[in-house]
Amino acid sequence: MPKIIPFKAVKPTRAIVGLVAARPYQSYTVDERESRMAYNPYSFLHIVNPGYKYDQEVTGEERYKLVKNRYLEFKEDGVFVKDKKPSFYVYKIVNRHGQEFNGIVAATSAEDYEKDIIKKHEDTISKREETFKSYLQTVGFNAEPVLLTYPDNALIAQIINDVQNTKYAEFEFTMTYRDTHYLWKIDDAPTITTIQSEFKNMDTIYIADGHHRSASSYLLYKDEKVKNLDHNGTESYNFFMSYLIPESDLVIYEFNRLIKDLNGLTKEEFLIKLDASYRIENRGLMAYKPSKPHHFSMYLDGEFYSLYLRKTCYTFKTSLDTLDAQLLYKTILQPVLGINDLRNDNRISYVNGHHDMITIKTSVDSGEFTVGFGMCPSNVEQMKQIADEGLTMPPKSTYILPKLRSGITIYEY
């Protein structure tokens, strides 16, 4: 029975929302950030990179305090305005590939995360959880929703469609990446109640993207709950901002793997070891891309190969075992190439499935990497089953769309 509630979002004004909205800070190169901040005084990057104002790098608690100051300045200057009524927000994204995403921005329950009503499929790093929790405690706001997905629901879909067709969008703007964003407000009590009732009838909802943000929000909730002697469960720290979209809207790509060396093996020795688990076919210069689960592509020494799993050599015991990212790890990356820590080993790198096999070829041909692997993407049902079994995927198993922007709706603690 997931609990979602409306909230009073802090939002940019309609005239400048397209200038404020920004991709996550880490997704920019240094040069990209510098360029955007130099020519756009409204970019949300000015808030999350406050040292730019003083031409120096600031970190830790000092940075958090400056982030809060920049945010308050944006509010004082009228760049951000807080809504007067708690609302849900219908949010639509149409990207440059024509893919469309429709959902609802709402506040979701940290207690539901604790009770596994909001389920996860990825491990998180404790240090990152604590860092972001401290950030939230100092700055007092969150500007990027967690991406959650729920089973397709006809009534919620009808409400979203009706809102989009009967109301003018409060926001409609296109980013430089050529994705167009729309936002409508729902603040009437009957519609809010209906949406909440539909979510209460669901058993679970799932984190699609934003595992660390969810975990940090949960840690914040635990801390503040203990500190507040008058805690009653309605305080803002009991919730975190999420963008909830139906499962059919979720788009999942794979992350392909690039490896810097063959762990001391020659090409021939490496291929012989792979032959124990895979049927191998040399495809020459043909850029082979797998089309079935448990099939992989490989680029090595100027040639493409197809790898088909010998199923008699591998036992599928859990849903995780059927995941291609796990399969590649268990049959090649760990036993043959000696990569045990997928998160921290600097011999491995990842390329999302938006890029084709030629990207892998180029990376290997440049000499930076020795071998590259491509695979099929996983699907929503695999993700859910792994979460339901209490298991977690290897790092970089999924590249999930939509990718959200910061600064369009802001949740204050």
Please indicate, yes or no, whether residues 349 and 279 belong to a single structural domain of this protein: yes
Please indicate, yes or no, whether residues 214 and 353 belong to a single structural domain of this protein: no
Please give the angle made by the CA atoms of 276, 278 and 283, to the nearest 5 degrees.
130
**CA quadruple 111, 116, 120, 123: dihedral positive or negative?**
positive
Please indicate, yes or no, whether residues 294 and 245 belong to a single structural domain of this protein: no
Nearest to 144 by CA among 86, 216, 193, 79: 216
What local confidence, expressed as pLDDT, does residue 344 receive?
A: 84
* pTM for this entry: 0.93
Query: What length is written for the chain?
Result: 413
Please indicate, yes or no, whether residues 226 and 308 belong to a single structural domain of this protein: no
User: Which tokens hold the place of 398?
Assistant: 């999924």
Please indicate, yes or no, whether residues 35 and 63 belong to a single structural domain of this protein: yes
Nearest to 16 by CA among 57, 46, 61, 59: 46
Range of the domain at 321: 255-397
Element (H, E) at 300: strand 295-300
327 within 8 A of 314, measured Cβ to Cβ: yes
Please indicate, yes or no, whether residues 371 and 237 belong to a single structural domain of this protein: no
Please indicate, yes or no, whether residues 145 and 232 belong to a single structural domain of this protein: yes
Please indicate, yes or no, whether residues 210 and 261 belong to a single structural domain of this protein: no
Return d(Cα 67, Cα 47) in angstroms, integer: 5
Q: What is the pLDDT along the chain (413 residues), one digit of tens a residue?
A: 999 999 999 999 999 999 999 998 888 888 998 999 999 999 999 999 998 888 888 889 999 999 999 999 999 999 999 999 999 999 999 998 899 999 999 999 999 999 999 999 988 878 889 999 999 999 999 999 999 999 999 999 999 999 999 989 999 999 988 899 999 999 999 999 999 999 999 999 999 999 999 999 999 999 999 999 999 999 999 999 999 999 999 999 999 999 999 999 999 999 999 999 999 999 999 999 998 999 999 999 999 999 999 988 888 999 999 999 999 999 999 999 999 999 889 999 999 987 778 899 999 999 999 999 999 999 999 999 999 999 999 988 999 999 999 999 999 99
Please indicate, yes or no, whether residues 355 and 390 belong to a single structural domain of this protein: yes
257 within 8 A of 251, measured Cβ to Cβ: no
- Structural domains in the chain (count): 2
- What DSSP line would sit under 348-378, residue for residue? EEEEETTS-HHHHHHHHHTTS-SEEEE----
What local confidence, expressed as pLDDT, does residue 273 receive?
A: 97
Please indicate, yes or no, whether residues 51 and 160 belong to a single structural domain of this protein: yes
Query: Quick one: angle between helices 126-139 and 211-227, nearest 10?
Result: 60
Please indicate, yes or no, whether residues 296 and 230 belong to a single structural domain of this protein: no
- Three-state SS sequence of 20-56: HCECCHHHCCHHHHHHHHHHCCCCCHHHHCHHHHHCC
* Whole-number Cα distances in Å, 104 to 200, 201, 326, 379, 394: 15, 17, 32, 22, 29
What local confidence, expressed as pLDDT, does residue 124 receive?
A: 83
Please indicate, yes or no, whether residues 319 and 180 belong to a single structural domain of this protein: no
The CATH number linked to 277 is 3.30.1760
Q: Report the first-to-last Cα separation within the chain, whole angstroms.
A: 24
